[in-house]
């Protein structure tokens, strides 16, 4: 029998600290589950990945029995649980609830499940209401969750300047916050500021993180909530003005925003060709797996070369690959490898284009019907269970695999690879055509610190990866 277990907890904390998830899994395995699907998400969500996967398997008739520890593991909504059980009943899947054995096929069992579903939703709504009241009280007391750099929290969880001493600089964190503001006004870009404070003080900021930090209203002395908009949530921000000592004035923040906007206008262009080059987004660093960006030499020839995007990042994001490799050299070697390995690609394509199907004979069909009837009995009689296993074994022995080749797809892809194996074909393309053609064949191109170039190819139409 194909027996699936489903386990769910609402938070990662429940899974790790309280060991609730492992307890569920252990009970499901003891009860006989051979496959266990797990979600760490609220039961009120209908977008749980593994829960939806379970429903999909049931609808494909790939499940005989489902085991859960409690009904509320399936969900915290009457509608969600009701729909799930309807699917189970429709596809003749047995539901086993360890803490409250019920039979969804009987009227009394259906009534019991709906009672438990209602109780689960009631508990969920009650908990949600308590959390809402707690959060409202939290905001009324002007408390703060995670203070921004330069600030800490007092005994009442309110923001105060962080007067602790930074070991390397000898300054307080609040003073360092003011220093960073000055650097943003003085230096050319946020990237330069990030690099400087990492080298001088070992303070790690990403460019995006520094930009968000400057815009944080807490730095202007205000305690604000719901400032960042979330998808699907339309709520007005709550701003409490002048609740603590400000690190920066509103006028200074405005000056910084104007400078950043000016930088953006200076660096942007309506005719920008960023990304419009052959192998765009396909060239990766062999060391960190990150992308590589294109730059131009200062020489009048403006030679294009590629470099790891993480090389200039500070701290844990830094990559040691400092190699600058010419873009045209990467493209040329990729094309050379593609031409050289074209025969292997065709052989691999031929093996991948063969599919196997099972011929369903009349005898197998009759046995399958008998198997469905016997499974529908849901009997614990050993003789019936043995008979079901015997029929399954007979069906497997009678199933005849037949190989089928999709000749049209194979010949079309073979023609593409044959054309691509000719160097003259690539020489005839301009950059836009070259980019479009390479995307059809190349999965990625890795470049390491010694300049070694390793392309990975994908087959046209099948998208199967192959490394030469």
Does the pLDDT at position 461 exceed 50?
A: no
In sequence order, the β-bridge partners of residue 294 are: 306
Hey, what are 373's tokens? Answer: 């009837």
**What Cα–Cα distance (Å) separates residue 237 from each residue in 47, 139, 318?**
28, 12, 36
Count of CB atoms situated within 10 Å of the CB of 276: 10
Sole residue written with tokens 């009904």: 71
Does the pLDDT at position 352 exceed 60?
A: no
CA-CA distance, 82 to 463, in Å (whole number)?
40
Q: C-alpha 450: how far from its chain's center?
A: 32
Length of the chain, in residues: 468
CA-CA distance, 438 to 282, in Å (whole number)?
10
Using an 8 Å Cβ cutoff, are 292 and 284 in contact?
yes
Domains in the chain (CATH in brackets) are: 3-136 (3.40.50.1390), 151-267 (3.90.1750.20), 283-331 (no CATH), 335-466 (no CATH)
User: pLDDT tens for residues 325-340?
Assistant: 999 999 999 888 888 8
Using an 8 Å Cβ cutoff, are 119 and 217 in contact?
no
Please compute the mean of the pLDDT values over residues 166-189 and round it to a whole number.
Answer: 91
Please compute the mean of the pLDDT values over residues 142-157 and round it to a whole number.
Answer: 91
Provide the pLDDT for residue 113.
73
pTM value is: 0.49
CA-CA distance, 340 to 343, in Å (whole number)?
8
- Mean pLDDT computed over every residue of the chain: 81
In sequence order, the β-bridge partners of residue 458 are: 465
Of all residues in the chain, the percent with pLDDT exceeding 70 is 82
CA-CA distance, 161 to 157, in Å (whole number)?
12
Show Cβ contacts of residue 296 under 8 Å, excluding neighbours closer than 6 positions. 302, 303, 304, 305
User: pLDDT tens for residues 280-320?
Assistant: 889 999 988 888 888 888 777 778 889 898 887 766 778 88
> Residue-wise over 65-104: b if at least 16 C-beta within 10 A, else e?
bbbbbebbbbbbbbebbeebbeebeebebbbbbbeeebbb
Categorize the per-residue pLDDT at 220 as very low, low, confident or very high, splitting at 50, 70 and 90: very high
Please compute the mean of the pLDDT values over residues 362-368 and round it to a whole number.
Answer: 72
Using an 8 Å Cβ cutoff, are 120 and 75 in contact?
yes
Top-confidence residue, 4 or 227: 4
User: pLDDT tens for residues 407-447?
Assistant: 555 565 566 667 667 777 777 788 888 888 788 788 899 99
Using an 8 Å Cβ cutoff, are 66 and 104 in contact?
no
């Amino acid at each position: 029998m194909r027996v699936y277990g489903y386990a769910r907890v609402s938070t990662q904390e429940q899974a790790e600290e309280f060991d609730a998830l492992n307890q569920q899994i252990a009970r499901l395995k003891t009860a006989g589950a051979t496959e266990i699907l797990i979600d760490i998400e609220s039961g009120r969500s209908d977008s749980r990945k593994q829960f939806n996967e379970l429903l999909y398997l049931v609808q494909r008739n790939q499940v005989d029995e489902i085991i859960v520890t409690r009904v509320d593991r399936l969900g915290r909504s009457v509608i969600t649980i009701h729909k799930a059980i309807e699917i189970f009943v429709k596809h003749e899947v047995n539901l086993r609830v360890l803490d409250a054995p019920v039979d969804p096929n009987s009227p009394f069992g259906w009534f019991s499940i709906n009672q438990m579903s209602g109780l689960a939703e009631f508990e969920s709504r009650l908990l949600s209401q308590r959390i809402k009241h707690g959060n409202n009280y939290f905001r009324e007391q002007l408390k703060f969750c995670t203070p921004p750099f330069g600030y800490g929290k007092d005994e009442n969880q309110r923001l105060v300047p962080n007067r602790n001493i930074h070991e390397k600089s000898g300054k307080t964190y609040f003073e360092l916050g003011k220093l960073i503001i000055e650097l943003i006004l003085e230096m050319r870009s946020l990237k330069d500021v990030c690099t400087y404070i990492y080298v001088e003080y070992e303070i790690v900021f990403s460019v995006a993180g520094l930009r968000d930090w400057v815009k944080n209203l807490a730095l202007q002395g205000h305690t604000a909530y719901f400032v960042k908009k979330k998808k699907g949530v339309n709520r007005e921000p709550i701003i409490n003005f002048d609740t603590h000592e400000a690190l920066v004035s509103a006028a200074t923040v405005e000056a910084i925003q104007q400078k950043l906007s000016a930088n953006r206008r200076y660096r942007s262009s309506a005719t920008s060709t960023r990304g419009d080059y052959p192998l765009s987004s396909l060239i990766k660093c062999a060391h960190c797996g990150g992308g590589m960006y294109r730059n131009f030499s200062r020489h009048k020839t403006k030679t294009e070369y590629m470099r790891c995007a993480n090389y200039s990042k500070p701290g844990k994001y830094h990559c040691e690959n400092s190699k600058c490799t010419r873009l045209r050299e990467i493209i040329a070697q990729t094309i050379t490898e593609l031409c050289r390995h074209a025969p292997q690609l065709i052989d691999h394509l031929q093996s991948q284009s063969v599919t196997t199907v099972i011929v369903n004979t009349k005898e197998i069909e009759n046995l399958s019907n008998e198997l469905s009837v016997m499974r529908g009995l849901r009997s614990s009689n050993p003789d019936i269970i043995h008979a079901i296993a015997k029929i399954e074994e007979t069906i497997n022995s009678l199933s005849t695999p037949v190989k089928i080749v999709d000749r049209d797809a194979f010949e079309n892809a073979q023609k593409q690879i044959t054309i691509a194996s000719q160097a003259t074909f690539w020489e005839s393309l301009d950059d836009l055509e070259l980019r479009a053609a390479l995307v059809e064949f190349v999965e990625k191109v890795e470049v390491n610190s010694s300049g070694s170039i390793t392309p990975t190819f994908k087959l046209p139409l099948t998208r199967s990866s192959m490394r030469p």
